[in-house]
Chains A and B, each alone.
Chain A
Amino acid sequence: MIYFTELEHLPSFDVKGEYLGRLFDLGVDPSQNSLRVASYLVRTPKRNLLCITHDQMQSISVRAAQTRVPAAEIRCYAPDEGMMRIKKDVLDQQVIDVDHRKVVRVNDVDLDIRPTNGHTDLRIVAANVGVAAAVRRLLQGLAAKHTIRLVAGLFPSKVIPWEFINLIELDPARRVKLRISYDRLARLHPADIADILEELGRDEQKALIESLDEETAAQVLSEIPTRLQAALLESFPVGKAADIVEEMPPDEAADVLQEMPPETSAEVLADMGQEEAEDVRELLGFEENTAGALMTNEFVFVGDAATVEGAIAAIKNFEGPLESIHVVYLVGSTAVLTGAVPLARIVLAESATPLKELVAEQLISLPFHADQKEVVDLFHKYNLVTLPVVDDKGYLLGVVASDDVLELMVNRK
């Protein structure tokens, strides 16, 4: 194992022992091999940059590097967007530790020396984020290398295997060239991705959301503060923003659209699919801090004459997220809310049972203009999971879910 801090400024010689310069940076070509160091950048005494390819490298140690070709065969470095550079792109930068689901800053990079048919390869093993690596950075060049190893060994070390590291690249074209994929990251829980997102700078946040598919992006956005959601969505082209908002639950979508300037939110709405836009528009009219502003209009309801079979059919046709269903609502002929049936009772009942026989004893609901404090009080008092919201005539308008109430409480704190 060798550390990048030990390789930086390493004196380099060609095959004849002629001094070339000092090692400046290491380059990786992800299109060939994302773990192998593909080129060694050496700064000559005249401050030119040489680029030694990996198969030109004879040997490498903490003392020196030697090529197996004469100096004349080594070409000059030409800037290459497709090359990931350890010092420039990795060291001191924020990267995502997918395994521990957090953002870390890289102190050092661990490498492995591997002699390979006649030349020497370096393999990237891990990113080092611990105190030991910080000590190495601090002492680098000030003390002998073995002394530094000794001193750094006294401190705790923390390494993240390279396969768990996700680099954050701002330029989408370069992201493709460097083969940076967020597949692993996208498999994390959206709430975890949201936590990671909040740790990053503005441009990094944008890059991360850009690289997720719309559905994941929408789930992640739903988990961050509304103001940040709006700021991010506004930084995207209208089409992209509309695609993401479409995938968000209607109540979240309405919240974020209300946070944006009216012109922008109108453009986004116009660009959304007809049906989704309609759902969101219904929710946009409600006053802030009322039950109406808190509710969603995705819920399951059936006519009050329906049977258990009918309720199950309604659940099968439901387009919203299934895990949000806890109750099936009953409405009368004029869409007036008449009852609520807990899902568990439906599951346990015979399919021909009329739902009316299964309704919860007390029907608790609130008008849309009720204050959100009342909503919280009702949830607390009656241990509710969901609460139907009605208008003054008793028409069922929407449902407040407990997770929205919880979020409200946490944010108020």
Chain B
Amino acid sequence: MATNRERLRRWRRSLVIVFAVVGPGIITANVDNDAGGIYTYSVAGATYGYSLLWTLIPITIALIVVQEMVSRMGVVTGKGLADLIREEYGFRTTFILMGLLLAANLGNTVANFAGLASGMSLFGASRFIAVPVGALFVWLLVVRGTHRVVENVFLAACVFYIAYPISCFFANPDWSHALISTVKPSFHFDRGYLYMTIGLVGTTIAPWMQFYQQAAVVEKGIKIKNYALARWDVFIGCAMTDVVAFFIIVACASTIFVSGGRHISSAADAALALRPLAGHAAQILFAFGLVNASLFASSILPLSTAYYVCEGLGLESGINKRFREAPTFYWLYTALIFLGAFIVVVLRESQQVPIILLSQVANGILLPCVLVFMLRLSNRRDLMGEYRNKRFFNIVAWATCIVMISLTTLLLVSSFFPGRLPV
């Protein structure tokens, strides 16, 4: 009896530890599959079939390397990435980085409200209703909701990503072909294929993720001795991102690509194209997944942006503070959401292009800076002690960063000179 009770208690204890650690990695990774991500994966599948699937494995590894590093820094130092950069590289550098982050995430927010609009249009809702209602919902959730409600809503949103694997099964793909393509690299030396690869990498590994993950780890107060578990949170989260990506690519490849290929200009287009080939249910699921992902990302991105911009600049922040105590924080958050929604509702698509371009440029400049700062910080003995990067890890990490930086530079160049990639 007593031993049973003891065992029960120990079991409950370990469960408590799991819940105390799990979250940041998984939430970050799921927000990563936002409207932009879903669109990119759909296009990859629709245009190149299974032949881009192999890139998912190196992308996952790169993502894990990067996210593990920030997660570790968060656990060991108990400080956010913006804080560490401020303390190490001074005010001006931080200010510029935060400005870029703001620009990048405004673009991301716009992309997600656009995703919401196109997803809801499949359910027959006008964007003039869907976007304002969505924006208000997201804003109220964070400003009025308690911490517990917000967390539960976010976790529920993570679960809904199951919509993609299910809709993929409806598409009835050639599984063996898909799996072989995942492990067997194939190269095409045409320009479009290269763009697409770069696009995949760029959409999966974005600079906001490093800030968000580290802040979330700090917020959660994960202890150093539980770090092994936190690392699993990162692994599982990163794997989840790319598993969802896998199913989206496969769904589009086995239907749209196989039936002769077709140009798709939005994620909702992909859902529409699925219908004649995989059935009505697949379309509904795909569109539902898109709406879910868009709403999820458009609440977390503005919130987290406001959070670390304020932290880096030494201003009061956090949803547990009142409006009067942290005015900049709330204004930033509100402005990002309403500006994002406004742009989608009022501006025509062609008018949105400069904003998306600006956001891409900001991302492109930001990523190399963040990666290099991160690598240098996580090698500091006084900061990280015995948890600083090991030599082998450093080789892998630097290699990853150099590849990432070159790809981002290419993406940046290509977005300014479409069709003139210097290869």
Q: Which A residues lie at the B interface, using CB under 8 A?
A: 91-94, 104-105, 107, 129, 134, 137-138, 140, 200-205, 225, 227-228, 230-231, 234, 288, 412-413
Contacts and interface: CB of A to CB of B under 8 A. Distances in A.
Contacts of B223: 227, 230-231, 234
A137 to B, nearest CB: 4
B91 interface: yes
B183 to A, nearest CB: 41
Given A105-B86, A231-B221, 7 more contacts: A92-B86, A92-B90, A105-B313, A137-B90, A201-B78, A202-B76, A413-B147
Contacts of A134: 91, 95, 313
B78 A234 contact: no
Given A107-B314, A231-B223, A201 B91 contact: no
Nearest to A258: B13
Contacts of B86: 92, 105
Contacts of B90: 91-92, 137
A3 to B, nearest CB: 13
B148 interface: yes
Contact of A203 (B78, B91, B95, B221): B78
Most B CB within 10 A of own CB, among A104, A129, A202, A227: A202
B324 interface: no
Contact of A138 (B92, B146, B221, B314): B92
- Measured as residues with beta carbon below 8 angstroms from the partner, the interface class of chain B is 20 to 34
Contacts of B12: 288
A408 to B, nearest CB: 14
A94 B147 CA distance: 26
A234 B90 CA distance: 33
Contacts of B87: 92-93
Interface of B: 12, 20, 76-79, 83, 86-87, 90-92, 95, 146-148, 221, 223, 225, 313-314
B32 to A, nearest CB: 26
Given A202-B78, A205-B78, A413-B148, A228 B314 contact: no
11 contacts: A92-B86, A137-B92, A138-B95, A201-B78, A202-B76, A202-B79, A205-B78, A230-B223, A231-B221, A413-B146, A413-B147
Given A93-B87, A138-B92, A413-B146, A201 B221 contact: no
A103 to B, nearest CB: 9
A384 to B, nearest CB: 25
Nearest to A170: B382
Given A92-B86, A201-B79, A228 B313 contact: no
Contacts of B146: 413
Contacts of B95: 134, 137-138
Contact of B91 (A107, A225, A234, A413): A107
Nearest to B86: A92
Contacts of A201: 77-79, 83
A284 to B, nearest CB: 11
Given A234-B223, A413-B147, A129 B77 contact: no
A202 B314 contact: no
A413 B144 CA distance: 13
A92 B91 contact: yes
Nearest to B146: A413
A140 B91 CA distance: 11
A158 B76 CA distance: 32
Given A201-B79, A203-B78, A225 B221 contact: yes
Given A92-B90, A138-B91, A203-B77, A227 B221 contact: yes
B284 to A, nearest CB: 36
Contacts of A91: 90
Contacts of A234: 223, 225
Nearest to B78: A202
Contacts of A105: 86, 313-314
Contacts of A92: 86-87, 90-91
Nearest to A198: B221
Contacts of B91: 92, 107, 134, 137-138
A413 B320 CA distance: 12
A167 to B, nearest CB: 13
Contacts of A138: 91-92, 95
Contacts of B314: 104-105, 107, 129
Contacts of B225: 234
Contacts of B148: 412-413
A252 B387 CA distance: 32
A137 B90 CA distance: 9
A367 to B, nearest CB: 18
A225 B320 CA distance: 15
Contacts of A231: 221, 223
A288 B8 CA distance: 12
Nearest to B311: A105
B371 to A, nearest CB: 22
A140 to B, nearest CB: 8
A125 B86 CA distance: 23
A202 B77 CA distance: 6
A138 B313 CA distance: 11
A17 B175 CA distance: 81
A341 B223 CA distance: 45
A264 B76 CA distance: 20
A230 B20 CA distance: 13
Nearest to A93: B87
Nearest to A200: B78
Given A105-B86, A201-B83, A234-B223, A227 B20 contact: yes
A138 B94 CA distance: 10
A4 B90 CA distance: 14
A234 B77 CA distance: 16
A156 B265 CA distance: 48
Contacts of A107: 91, 314
B252 to A, nearest CB: 43
A134 B76 CA distance: 29
Counting chain A CB atoms within 10 Å of each CB, the highest count among B12, B86, B91, B92 belongs to B91
B309 to A, nearest CB: 12
Contacts of B92: 137-138, 140
Nearest to B90: A92
Nearest to B87: A92
A91 B313 CA distance: 12
